[in-house]
Amino acid sequence: MTVGILALQGDFREHEEMLRRIGAPTLQVRLPKHLDQVDRLIIPGGESTTIGKLLVMYGLIEPLRARVRAGMPIWGTCAGAILMAQRIAGGRTDQPSLRLMDMTAHRNAFGSQLESFEIDLPLEVLNGDPLRMVFIRAPVLEDLGTAVTPLARIDDGRVVAARQANMLATCFHPELTSDDRMHRYFLEM
């Protein structure tokens, strides 16, 4: 099983290092032809507007949508979660996105870079200790459709991780910690 990592912008190298550490083959995805060589895909954190524009520039939006609709597992972290949401709040109205998950991603929900933080929270799908979550100019997930299951909430009740069928969205950066449980969970999807 080869895990594709969208490598247009953002922290794709950190995901790649984590996956290699746990023995999962990876491929950096930059063009539609690369999608044919992967069994699942991670869209990393970065800047969602920039990644969205590059998805358009490299002709990846429709091929990605088609693969996900055909059942390919996909995981978006931070900016990736924003790009997967059907609706985006707090951003540009013309921002390109994949519009896959029935939810709203509210960009920069915690504020600017200065309000970035880390917190340990339990995640129902992970057994064991709470997961260290790194939030950097992070979104929150709102208006979840009935097919979307919230997986984690911060203390005020806002959703920061969700799943809909073969799609996973996290507002935090598990690739910036040493805990590989989220990556292992994605590999089992």
pTM: 0.95
Ramachandran angles phi, psi of 15, nearest 5°: -65, -45
CA distances to 36, 60, 79, 178 from 142, in Å? 32, 26, 15, 28
Rounded Cα gap, residues 117 and 91, in angstroms: 21
Q: Is 173 a catalytic residue?
A: yes
Q: Write down all domains in the chain, each with its CATH number in brackets.
A: 3-188 (3.40.50.880)
Question: Which pairs from 153-156 meet CB under 8 Å and 24+ separation?
Answer: 153/121, 154/119, 154/121
Please confirm, yes or no, whether 78 is among the known catalytic residues.
yes
Q: Nearest Cα to 159, choosing from 144, 180, 181?
A: 144
Catalytic residue chosen out of the listed positions 34, 78, 171, 183: 78
CA distance 161 to 78: 10
List pLDDT tens digits, range 10-30: 999 999 999 999 999 999 999
DSSP line for 27-58: EEE-SHHHHTT-SEEEE-SS-HHHHHHHHHHT
**In Å, how far are 11, 23, 102, 150, 175 from 16, measured between CA atoms?**
9, 10, 28, 26, 9
Q: How do residues 55-78 score in pLDDT, each as one tens digit? A: 999 999 999 999 999 999 999 999
Pick the catalytic residue from 15, 106, 173, 183: 173
Q: Quick one: pLDDT at residue 96?
A: 92
| pLDDT band at residue 134 using 50, 70 and 90 as cut-offs | very high
User: Is there a catalytic annotation at residue 171?
Assistant: no
Find residue 40's DSSP bridge partners: 3
